[in-house]
Amino acid sequence: MHMLSIYLIILVNLYSHVKGLRVNCQYLPKEFIYCDYPKLLSAANETSSNGIGCSKFTGPGSSDPYPAQTKVTCFVLPEINCDGYRKFESVITYPCVKYNGHYFVSTLLYSLFLGIFGVDRFYLGYMGPGAGKLLTLVYGWFSIDNNFSKALLG
């Protein structure tokens, strides 16, 4: 956590102890809570009783400009004092987007330095295009080498 969050935690705790007043847990700033990722609903239970869950996920490259929204379950961090339940449904909604967990910078570096071998595609989980890039490199190398040696040797 950065220093501002630490100062805010100390300030909120001191204020709540001195004044005897506490903020409702649902309305704490996002630095003081941890929220789960949106969950996929099962096919049998297509509608959730509490409105938490996604019927389907869209990916980062999806053509859908407005993905479905859902509420998620949130928890207050242990060192925060607040009124109400420490586990609650989020006030704001989150998009039903599934991220693959790969870092952009590492993918960019793989693409720049090892992309000719298809390492960037293998890293992202695209085995077919990765193998295609690798085979194109191998086939291209052997065909150039073969043509070059034929030209030299006559």
Tell me: pLDDT of 16 over 70. Answer: no
Q: What is the mean pLDDT of residues 109-122?
A: 92
**Pairing, β 69-70 against β 87-89:** unpaired
Q: What is the mean pLDDT of the chain?
A: 79
Q: What is the mean pLDDT of residues 41-51?
A: 58
Question: What is the C-alpha to C-alpha distance for residues 140 and 62, in angstroms, rounded to an integer?
Answer: 34
- Do 39 and 7 meet the contact criterion of CB atoms below 8 Å apart? no
- Do 28 and 9 meet the contact criterion of CB atoms below 8 Å apart? no
**Which is higher by pLDDT, 140 or 75?**
75
Predicted local distance difference test score (pLDDT) of residue 46: 52
Helix (H, G, I), strand (E, B) or coil at 72: coil
Tell me: pLDDT of 48 over 60. Answer: no
CB atoms within 10 A of CB 11: 10
Tell me: pLDDT of 114 over 90. Answer: yes
What share of the chain in percent tops pLDDT 90? 16
Can you list the positions of beta strands (E) in 3-147?
33-35, 69-70, 73-76, 87-89, 94-95
Q: What is the mean pLDDT of residues 103-117?
A: 89
DSSP secondary structure string for all residues of 76-93: E-TT---BS-SEEE-SS-
Question: What is the C-alpha to C-alpha distance for residues 23 and 91, in angstroms, rounded to an integer?
Answer: 14
Q: What is the mean pLDDT of residues 78-101?
A: 83
> Which residues neighbour 71 within 8 Å (Cβ) at sequence distance 6 or greater?
50, 51, 52, 89, 90, 92, 93, 94
Structure-block tokens of residue 30? 């996002």
